[in-house]
Every structure is written in C-alpha cells, then in structure tokens.
Amino acid sequence: MKIEVVTLFPELVEVVTRSGMPRVAVEQKALELSCINPRDFANNRWRKVDDRPCGGGPGMVMQAEPLAQAIETAKASLGPATRVLMMSPQGERMDQQWFQRLSQEAGLIVLCGRYEGVDERLVTSAVDVELSLGDFVLSGGELAAMVLIDGIARLLPGVLGHAESAGQDSFVNGLLDHPHYSKPVAWRGQAVPEVLMSGDHARQARWRLKQALGRTWLRRPDLLENLELDAEQQTLLREFVAEQKEGGGS
Ligand code: 9D3
C-alpha cells in the first residue's frame, strides 16, 4: 500500500515509520509512505497557506488551493480513483473495522488539518471521508494520521507476524483481551493463575475466553451488546459473573 500524507509537518508524520510495525512494513515493501507539503504550492513569497475566516471568528483557516494542488499531485502518483481521507474532529470515529477496510486499498491520500480548520469548499469537493480519533481536541490531524498508519501497517499482508496476530486481535472478535502473564511464576508474592501452569491447553483456552468475556462485561458492556454469544461463551460469562459476585474473581 502507498500512503501520501498531505501535511504542514512532514517530519512529524514520517516518525511513525521509524520504529515498530510501520517500520517493518516499509522495510518489507508492504508500505510506502510519503508526504506532500501544501506550502510547496503556496503562490506567495511567504509560503503562506492560511488566512482569516470569512465572516470572522478566531484563528486561521487552511486555504483550499494549496491543498487541492497537493491532492492532485498525490493522485498523479497513486491514481485518480485513490480515496482521500481527512483527519478531522468532525469525522466518523476510527475503529478496527475502518483499519481493516482501509488496509485493502492499494493507495490512500491522508489530509491533515491544522489551525481552526480547512476551507469547507475543499472538503466537499476533494475529500471522500472524514475520520476522527475521538471526542477530544488535538492541535492538528498529524497524530491521528500516524495512528491510522500504525493501525493499517500491522494488517498488511507480508508484515511479520501478520497471519498469527492480526486474526487474534482484541476487537476482531469484538472482545477485550484476556490478561497475560510471563516468567517468573512467582513475582513479589504474586503467583501466575494455576490453570496457566497446568499444561491443559483446552482448559487454558476456556480460561482465556472466560477472562476476555468477563473483562469486556466489566469494562466495556457496550461491546457485548453488539455480540451474539454462543452457548459456551454464555456459560463462561455466567461463571465469571457468579465468581465476581462471590467476591473472588479467580
Ligand atoms: C478548539 C478548536 N475547535 C474549535 C471549537 C475546533 C478544532 C479545530 C481543529 C478542534 C481541533 C482541531 C484540530 N484537530 C484535528 O485536526 C483532529 C482531531 C482532533 O482534534 N480530535 C480527534 N481526532 C482528530 S482527527 C483530526
């Protein structure tokens, strides 16, 4: 997949491929990331790409023309049908399903806003979808774009561990993850749960599923409402809830 990010801060966005899975994805040529700076299309000596909002109000607005030319440059490289995403607090909330869908694309153009916003005429004429990280205020779209790139990179075919881990992801099955333990078996007076030391793989798989169901019930009941639990899952969750009410939780 090729991703072109339109941003006033290319050096910030490029950091996402310096480590972790996005770096592996680039090294394995599953991902190619480049940035286009709308300043390169400013038609004034000061490379200014923002101006005061029409009708008044605080702050500055990113002007349409430099962004339009940046997007056209990206489309010349990735193809005219490439989807244009804009990171925006007004956008649809990003989730794992968005990452999965977008990871199937051959190319993406990602527009990062700064200042108070982007001229709406550019949004309506050149942006296919607006995506948000959530209901909090950032100073621009770059961090959101980096989140998107990280989330997509680890799903790309050919990225190490892709087949094993991506299918087991929390949120893919709609549940939160179960707890994890490693060595030593006794750490500062705390033991690893006995079942994980038993060598009984079927019992361990049931324990993991029960913990995942239980933690989702405790912390994110909204996720459970969207799921159709099978008979085994219902039994495991009922056991978890019963143990919780005993006050044990083991
Ligand atoms: C405080 C400024 N707000 C006016 C009431 C509007 C506003 C403009 C620009 C708020 C944030 C931003 C910059 N944010 C993003 O570009 C952004 C973002 C975010 O702020 N929160 C969550 N997801 C995203 S994606 C892009």
How would residue 36 be classed by pLDDT, with cut points 50, 70 and 90?
A: very high
pTM of the model: 0.95
Q: Where in the chain is the domain with CATH 1.10.1270.20?
A: 170-246
| Atom 14 of ligand 1, residue of closest alpha carbon | 140
Distance, CA 116 to ligand 1 centroid (Å)? 8
Q: What is the pLDDT of residues 118-140, one digit of tens each?
A: 999 999 999 999 999 999 999 99
**Residues facing residue 36 across a β-bridge:** 6
Going by C-beta distance under 8 Å and a sequence separation of 6 or more, which residues neighbour residue 132? Answer: 87, 88, 89, 90, 91, 92, 93, 94, 144
Render pLDDT for 160-217 as a digit per residue (tens, 0 to 9). Answer: 675 566 766 767 689 999 999 999 999 999 999 999 999 999 999 999 999 999 999 9
**What's the pLDDT at 48?**
98
According to CATH, the topology of domain 170-246 is Trp Operon Repressor; Chain A (1.10.1270)
Is 116 a pocket residue for ligand 1 (Cβ < 6 Å)? yes
CA of 95 to the centre of ligand 1 (A): 18
User: Residue 173: its pLDDT value, please?
Assistant: 87
pLDDT cut 90: percent of the chain above it: 92
User: Which residues of the chain are in CATH 3.40.1280.10 domains?
Assistant: 2-153
Going edge to edge, which strands form the sheet with 117-118? 50-51, 61-62, 117-118
Q: How many CB atoms lie within 10 A of CB 191?
A: 12
What is the reported pLDDT for 247? 84
Cβ(113) to ligand 1 under 6 A? Answer: yes
- Options 3.10.105.10, 3.40.1520.20, 2.20.70.10, 3.40.1280.10; CATH for 2-153 is 3.40.1280.10
Q: Fill in the amino acid letter for 44.
A: N
Residue 15 to residues 23, 78, 89, 218, 247: CA-CA distances in angstroms?
Answer: 9, 22, 22, 36, 46
CA distance 250 to 211: 10
Q: Which atom of ligand 1 is nearest to the CA of 133?
A: 23
